[in-house]
Structure 1
Amino acid sequence: MLEAGPLDAKVLSVFDFDGTLTHHDSFVPFLKFAFGKGEFCLRMMKLAVPGLRFLVRQISRDELKAQLIRTFMTGVEKAWVQQQAQEYCQRYWTKLMRPSGLQSVADEMKSGAVVTLCSASPALVLQPFADRLGIKLIGTELEVIDGVLTGKLTGNNCRCENKVLRLETVYGDLGEYRLRAWGDTRGDRELLAAAQDAHFRHFHTKKKRSKQR
Structure 2
Amino acid sequence: MKHNRLTSKPVLAAFDFDGTLTYRDSFTLFLKTELGFARYSAGLRRLSIPTFKHLTGFRTRDQLKEDLIRHFLTGFSVAELVDRSDYFCSKIWPRLMRPNALKEVEHQLQVGATVTLCSASPEIVLRPFAKRLGVSLIATRLEEHDGVLTGGIQGKNCRQAEKVARLAEVHGDLSLLHLRVWGDTAGDKQMLEAAQERYYRWFH
Query: Scaled by the length of structure 2, what TM-score is found?
Result: 0.96
d(CA) in 2 for partners of 1:155, 1:35: 25
d(CA) in 1 for partners of 2:106, 2:147: 34
- Corresponding residue for residue 87 of structure 2: 87
The answer to whether the aligner puts 1:47 opposite 2:58 as a matched pair is no
Aligned length: 198
The Cα of 1:9 is off from its aligned counterpart by 1.2
- Corresponding residue for residue 178 of structure 1: 178
Moved over 2 A (4+): none
The answer to whether the aligner puts 1:104 opposite 2:104 as a matched pair is yes
Aligned residue type for 2:177: Y
Query: Scaled by the length of structure 1, what TM-score is found?
Result: 0.92
- Corresponding residue for residue 124 of structure 1: 124
Structure 2, gaps ≥5 residues long = 1-6
The answer to whether the aligner puts 1:70 opposite 2:91 as a matched pair is no
d(CA) in 1 for partners of 2:77, 2:176: 39
Aligned residue type for 1:17: F
d(CA) in 2 for partners of 1:46, 1:66: 14
Structure 1, gaps ≥5 residues long = 1-6, 205-213
Aligned residue type for 1:96: L
User: What is the Cα-based RMSD across aligned positions, in Å?
Assistant: 0.7
d(CA) in 1 for partners of 2:93, 2:149: 25
The Cα of 1:38 is off from its aligned counterpart by 1.6
Deviations 1:79-138 (A, max 9, x none): 111111111110110100000100000000000000000000000000000000000000
Deviations 1:37-82 (A, max 9, x none): 1211222211111111111111010010010010011111011111
Identity, % of aligned pairs? 48
The answer to whether the aligner puts 1:192 opposite 2:192 as a matched pair is yes
